[in-house]
Structure 1
């Protein structure tokens, strides 16, 4: 069954999610969502401190390992880890490509724990401009650290019925020049 993952985008700096060159991706932060979401699932990123405000909505179209993402999209700003090998269990060994993003081993470990990159071909990214959610989406909001995953078939249908207008990159990140994320406080 299709899921709808809901969470607050605590730092809208163009990294998580990253809307660039006609593709939306989630490669860093939200490790549990990246680990569990499947192709066809939906993600809704709510704006912090704005009731009913949306940063983005997207449907997962591809799910790939972080190292595969960096090889396929090396010039994207969120391609911040490179695969340097594999563990005996097949999991990737990744090294950071930038020293200005998630500088601590703890934060990098959270990123890597997510194992996968999510790609959205069908998405609506409002960024700081903030889309306004209709009441049925605002009612599903998740306004604290972490995420929620639950959707009835009716909620999924209402979401897809609402998203009939043109999507893509509809706004800019709130702080696009801020790439240094030393301490997200565990909320990214």
Structure 2
């Protein structure tokens, strides 16, 4: 059941590769990036990513995805969970496989995280410390089976909703208003849920993210 009593976290999704979030295989997962959201979100909360106003992108006020958090795991649980083994990247596989987000293994003996070869690694596959440190500041993986991933078919949000729910610029905003959440839920429910279209950056070749831009 869709929840209107939690908090909604909204941010601008500037790089939509199907990595963060990862919408494949029946689960939408946020396992990297946005550490503050991942640290603070609870089951029942919402996370939405809207498009950038950048002139090269021109996706301002479009909704790339929305997820209601239905489960939360730690990195070690996520790494070991049989349901999410397919989200470990396969770097000689398809784009979906290359952009797998199950990339952090916690070594109990050494008491530190290890990053496997992935979108967030260096070009030679070695660890990117900048991404590792940022990602592991939020030690929770947000998981959803109640999600809408629009990707390259992202719809324009109605003006009355975009004014309330769309974050401008960096960071994120929090909305906790049951009446406005009802309006958002009513609108999002007019769309078929689940994975709707491919990430809009799937049109490009596989890329690494260096953590700087």
Indicate the SS of the match to 2:161: helix
**Which structure: greater strand fraction?**
1
**In structure 2, C-alpha distance between the alignment counterparts of 1:174 and 1:167, rounded to whole Å:** 18
Give the superposition deviation at 1:179: 4.1
Aligned to 1:170: 196
The higher-RCO structure (CA 8 Å, 6+ apart) is 1
Q: TM-score, normalised by structure 1?
A: 0.89
Aligned to 1:61: 70
Indicate the SS of the match to 1:14: coil
Whether contact under 8 Å (1:2, 1:151) holds in the other structure is yes
Q: Which has the larger radius of gyration?
A: 2
Q: Deviations over 1:29-56 (max 9, x none)?
A: 0000000011001111001122320110
The within-5 A match list for 1:141-152 is 141-152=166-177
Rate the CA distance shift 1:31–1:106 in 2: closer, same or farther, 3 A. same
Whether contact under 8 Å (1:51, 1:138) holds in the other structure is no
Q: Is structure 2 residue 108 aligned with structure 1 residue 85?
A: yes
Q: TM-score, normalised by structure 2?
A: 0.79
Give the superposition deviation at 1:20: 0.5
Indicate the SS of the match to 2:131: helix
Out of 120, 142, 157, the position equivalent to 1:133 is 157
**In structure 2, C-alpha distance between the alignment counterparts of 1:79 and 1:19, rounded to whole Å:** 12
Whether contact under 8 Å (1:102, 1:183) holds in the other structure is no
The within-5 A match list for 1:45-60 is 45-49=49-53, 50-60=59-69
Which structure 2 segments of 5+ residues have no match?
Answer: 54-58, 88-99, 123-127
Which structure 1 segments of 5+ residues have no match?
Answer: none
Indicate the SS of the match to 1:18: coil
**In structure 1, C-alpha distance between the alignment counterparts of 2:46 and 2:109, rounded to whole Å:** 30
Aligned to 1:181: 209
CA RMSD of aligned residues (A): 1.8
Rate the CA distance shift 1:99–1:60 in 2: closer, same or farther, 3 A. closer
Aligned to 2:186: 161
